Structure 1
Amino acid sequence: MNPRHQIFISSTFRDLRKERQAVLDAILQLGHFPSGMEVFPAADATPWNVIETIIAESDYYILIIGGVYGSTDEKGISYTEREHDFAVSKGIPVLVFLHGDPSKIPVGMSEIDPIAQKRLSDFRNKVEDTHHCKYWSTPEELKSQVVVGIVHAIRVTPRTGWIRGNTGDSAETLKKLTDSLEENSTLKLELKVLRDSLGTRSEVGGQLASGSDIIELHFIPEDFKEWTIVISWDELFKKAGAYMLSDIPENEILFFLSRELSVIAASSQPNPEQANKIALNAKLEKDDFDKIIYQFLALEYLEPITIVKQTDLFGKPRTQHIRGFRLTKYGSTKLGKLLAIKKS
């Protein structure tokens, strides 16, 4: 039995988009699950609690450091550094990948503030003192380093990981699986009713909103009630679909979308720079998120699944059945067309 592992990717975001994608590709090619600040809490937990939860649930933690220290909390510590410190405190194996020559990083991708530069330097020194680090200069080189690093980490520090649901053998596991299958059947029935009432998807009958049609989305909690974003269904699917290259729990989709869309919403606020600093605290309204999911189901971009995990968030043995989704064949084709580079 070869378990699949959940691997948390930690880094600043805007300056390391290509690098994060390279790491995500490496994890998927090895047959594991990439994650990164992607869990949505059932209760009114703070965003940092969300991040703590998904890190605690991860089997391995990957840290990428480039030329930016990143957004900081009220104590001046970046969220990336906080994530690293939390992973270490939980005993999660940490794989560190540092840019090999920060002086060659373009100015637009580097810190220019002396205080931020000092904090970034201190952070680099801290991880170099406590971890065996690897160094990279291009996304391709980083991807190769990550593949080797993951294989080595799994061999020397094996973790529980995820296993197929059919390996469970207890009566309790069987009952939970049965309940989940019944829930899945109910969801499929609801979807059929929705399709029957709305007709075929817009590409066929033109009765469902999609493509360049737009939807207005709202955010919570109260501090963000004035925040809105108007976005087309194609753009929305491009952002959501990028996180669905492997099976993904529903709450992770919500957290990813909240993070992506709140940054866009922040840019239209009276003080965009200040708004961007607090965008991490904004979450999509649950009703709006449900509309998105059911629309994607009706358009046959997604299909519901049950994800089985064998440990709880503290690494203790416990079978969990989580509602999730995966791209359909049609959804994968649609996403590929949206992301493909068009002729100029």
Structure 2
Amino acid sequence: MIDKRYQIFISTSGADMQPERMILSQTLVGMGFFSWGLEQRTPLSTAFARRQIDDCDYVIILLGSQYGEQSVSGVGYMHLEYIYAVTKQKPIIVFMHEDPASRDPALHDQKPELKEKFSEFRKLLQQEVDQVFTYRTLRDLEMAVRLNMTQMLERYPTTGWVRPQNAQKLHDEIDRLKAKINQLEQDLGTREIDPFLTLPKVAMNEAFGFEYRVHAYQDGNFKELKIQKTLTWSQLLAVLGSTFLNPTPEEYFSKRMNEYLNEIGLADARIEMPRAHAVARAQINIRALHNIKMQMRQNEWISPAGRDDRQRMLWKLTQKGHNLLESHLLSDNRVSL
């Protein structure tokens, strides 16, 4: 067995979580993990935190009873780190206090607007993150970490870090996995029963509803909105198609959709905030994004195109998808199956 170590980025609200952070870090070190994170946040530290998240294997959100220090935009640094981790598709695990109201009053936000932001952020994590665990005492936290971090390695395996003396074993494992990937891709291309066939094909003018979140700014204030959006499949193909004219990493599905939602989100935001003057940080619901990818694959508008040198899955527009983009079908909403 290869001796691996994993890098964990820890995000907390700040000094109020120092005892919990210490227990978490000590427990992780004892389990063989490397823990990272920033306790003091400034606008200049944001870029450094993002580089740490880029390099880490897992992200832990440790939530007590405070929203934490805010950036100039009014969004907490912990909240921003969570959003960035989601966009980078990092495996996320949350440890939150079971009953924040029972904590010492000195550990709570004093301003009503911060209390509201904390409550909304806590609900957001409970809704969006699959791995959320609660604790009451420091001992509870230690036991939750020991149990669930081990399970995270099984559910979301990553490359990790390997000691230099084990490098040859790692190269052998990589070669074995590459051969397995090639064989699976060949099998996928030849099998008669494709798992995507469980999805019914859609018409170009058929509507698809999904949810996205966006930061809206009005009268100097900031608010995160949850917006229900409906687009036809012709519109979705028009948005995504040009991104995949050449083989492109799968992560560009979310990148392009979020760029598009930032472009058009102001009109959606003004339904709830009529005087909104700007929007930013649009984020499509992860499950909706997955459905879009699978449906476009089922309709034969995109197809897998191998992997790049970083072993990222590549996707490319098919000839059928290319023809639809160049035709009038996308503009007149005629049906094409």
- Structure number having the greater strand percentage: 2
> Computing the radius of gyration over CA atoms, which structure comes out larger, 1 or 2?
2
Higher relative contact order (CA 8 A, sep 6+): 1
Q: TM-score range by the shorter chain?
A: 0.3 to 0.5
TM-score normalized by the length of structure 2 = 0.47
